Structure 1
């Protein structure tokens, strides 16, 4: 046994709101989603990358990368660089997009210079209901983001973060254990190996997990 098929959109027929993200990402050049990562589609629209990922335009070139085994709750929004306004001048109003002469003299570099890069969500991350991720953040493996949190900066692996702006309130494990977990990287194992070692992965004995490598 190797668990559910990661390429099936609805892996739980009795719970159609649960959607695997990898099939949705397959034909999109600017996103990637790891196997078994899922989203709670409570709204029933089925369009995570079109409606929960905001201002993500191909011409900008930024990417959204979601690792494997992530759990993304209903209402989570990921804001990409296309929603940012230039802040280097006195006004943040985007005059140039309205045309009619307002585009004249606008230097696009004043906006592109402030872009914050790609958004990267590591493996085994749990993002609580209604959380918002701002552009360019990196979320470390195993992190937990509380409901309604607004993430404006990077989070360490296995951090637990909450609030607006989100702050790390504790770490799930000590630094030494985190280092060992990152070295094991169970999320990269083949599905059959994960199946054989579920008890070690679900447990809290790092030595048992290491013994499975």
Structure 2
């Protein structure tokens, strides 16, 4: 269930936000709809945890394949694979097949990320053409209401900024941070669209033992 909790948190960051211009909101929705129609795509991300920085790399091969690797301080990498209706995991050892109930949770989250468009994309402001890491992107910044942000009194309101490739129309970077300049980034996801990605099945993996 810990694996599912981490995966669900990532999916929420991919699909959540908050209220502004219909045109900007539509362009963000179009970018992620185009991503969902890709043959394959990946997301390399970083998140803070109490034990330090956590790196999460996810490979998607729609409609029903996913390979996720979580790299946390002082731990072996934790890998999870979805292949059709079966899910597998390993951490410093051999692959094991996850219980069907856990697999169903992962299937639902993969569908939310790569198949089903979100019911509400959220509202965005258009920032126009901006530079990030020396590259030009069309940028869109979420419009958040403090009452909807989940932040306590005095806590900074977090915004999501989506950077879209102006040539392909695909989302390339997804950053969650506070409004003030030079504030610490809470989450950063970088997307790629490899042409030859193939996620493998592990049909001979034994069913995971109850711990």
Q: Where on the TM-score scale, by shorter chain, does this alignment land: which range?
A: under 0.3
Greater strand fraction, Structure 1 or Structure 2: 2
Question: TM-score under structure 2 normalisation?
Answer: 0.21
Structure showing greater radius of gyration is 1
Higher relative contact order (CA 8 A, sep 6+): 2
Question: TM-score under structure 1 normalisation?
Answer: 0.21
